[in-house]
Structure 1
Amino acid sequence: AGSGPQVFTNGAASSVSQSATTVLDRFMQIPPTITIREGHRVKVYITQDMLLPGYEHHTIPGSF
């Protein structure tokens, strides 16, 4: 089964590995975020059709 120190080392390594996996899994769930300076030009490429509401039904929120 192994000596005492070896068992301890293997257990510690397994625990650290499990903790790292948990932390990395959490970060993998965060969607990418991009911050762009105000007024900076941006190109957006759409890979599929988008449905947009008609302009005549467009409203601007009061907090705008």
Structure 2
Amino acid sequence: MKNKTKSVLYHPSRNEVGYTCDELAKMFTAAIKRMSPKEKAQLRVELRKTFDTPSQPEPDLWMN
């Protein structure tokens, strides 16, 4: 089932409606399809740096 809510991003300087999340997703998908393999690899590295969990999990503080 598709989410019927419509999230909208606003232009920060003009306070106008920009793109919906669906529109942004379609644009990003199209841009990634046009990338070279090297560019895709660079993007993967940057995404891993940003979103990967640390290699050592943090200790549970409540157990002390």
Structure having the higher helix fraction is 2
- State the structure with bigger RCO (CA 8 A, min sep 6), 1 or 2: 2
Structure having the higher strand fraction is 2
Using structure 2 for the length normalisation, give the TM-score.
0.26
Larger Rg, first or second structure (1 or 2): 1
